[in-house]
Amino acid sequence: MNKRNAFTLVELLVVISIIALLMSILMPSLSAARENAFRVVCISNTKNIALANEIYANEYDDRYVPVRDDRMNSLLPGDPKGDQRSWAANMRFRTIVGYLGKNIDDALLKIDPAYEDVLTIVPEDFQCPSDRVVKKNQISGYDTLWSYGYNVTDWAEEFGTRWFSPGSPNIIYGHIRSRVRQPASKLAFIDSCDWWVQWYSANYIDAWDVFGQVPPDVYNPPYGGPVLYRHSESAVIGFYDGHVECQGKERVFDHDDFNANPQRPGMWVGNEDDWP
């Protein structure tokens, strides 16, 4: 009697089919588990930023870290890059969060060693794992490599302030803690690829669905300061009271917030008393 020492072709095909079936069943679960892990890291990063903002306010007479401080020079001595007036470059804030002493991406330094001292770049340990822009080292026009943006809606041009306009060298754009009404429902930080965000650029219909994850320059104009819904079409939000939530795109961009009558400024406006 001859002994069979190998599988037949039919048997091999059956085994391969079973393996393929198992993989098709397991892959979505593995992808979901991977994304959940990324989301947890992003929530932790955002929590650190939100809590650092509270600590900063304790140290600076109840004032949160300024979104932008025009009293500072545009460029620090010896630093040829970056917008050093932004919150991302605030040295005390960076110290509280823990950015100082951390190395930025080695791949980025190969592009330009000068990026080692650019304060509008976040160390790779604090980047969102789901941020494809930051992983590709896609630098914006402001030499920014950042996974999170600070809400600037209170000072955005569409509400009459024109906070980027010239001729205002001594203006500080930031909230006083005691004047933020309902801080637990007011958005401070959110997923982005630039250091600032605004309500209009949270528009997932005209902006995010079209552009996906691209550098900030692609959004300008009119979608500067974009919100990126990189966590299963959701974004991680840090609120002014320090807590963090992950919210879907429809909830983040509420069409009625600024167009309703009577007006409902919603979570994008921190100080409703100053809102028109």
pLDDT tens, residue order, the chain (276 aa):
555 566 677 777 777 878 877 777 766 665 667 788 889 999 999 999 999 999 999 999 999 999 888 776 555 544 555 566 788 888 888 889 887 666 666 666 666 666 666 667 778 788 899 988 877 777 766 677 788 999 988 887 555 444 444 455 567 788 999 889 889 999 999 999 888 888 888 988 888 877 677 766 676 656 777 899 999 899 999 999 999 999 999 999 987 777 777 767 789 988 766 655
Nearest CA to 139 out of 55, 191, 84, 82 is that of 82
Check residue 48 and give its pLDDT.
Answer: 94
pTM listed for this prediction: 0.80
Radius of gyration of the chain (CA): 23
Check residue 68 and give its pLDDT.
Answer: 82
Check residue 166 and give its pLDDT.
Answer: 47
Nearest CA to 146 out of 104, 110, 188 is that of 104
Q: Which two tokens stand for residue 202?
A: 């949270």
Q: Where are the alpha helices (DSSP H) in the chain?
A: 9-59, 91-97, 106-111, 132-135, 209-211, 249-252, 256-259
Rounded to whole angstroms, what are the CA distances from 267 to 174, 198, 240, 262? 16, 11, 10, 16
Beta-carbon contacts of 175 under 8 Å, excluding residues fewer than 6 positions away, are 63, 64, 154, 240, 270, 271
Separation CA 257–CA 23 (nearest Å) = 44
Q: For tokens 């906070």, name the residue.
A: 163
Domains of the chain, residue spans: 33-274
Separation CA 204–CA 201 (nearest Å) = 8
Check residue 239 and give its pLDDT.
Answer: 96
3-state secondary structure of 232: coil
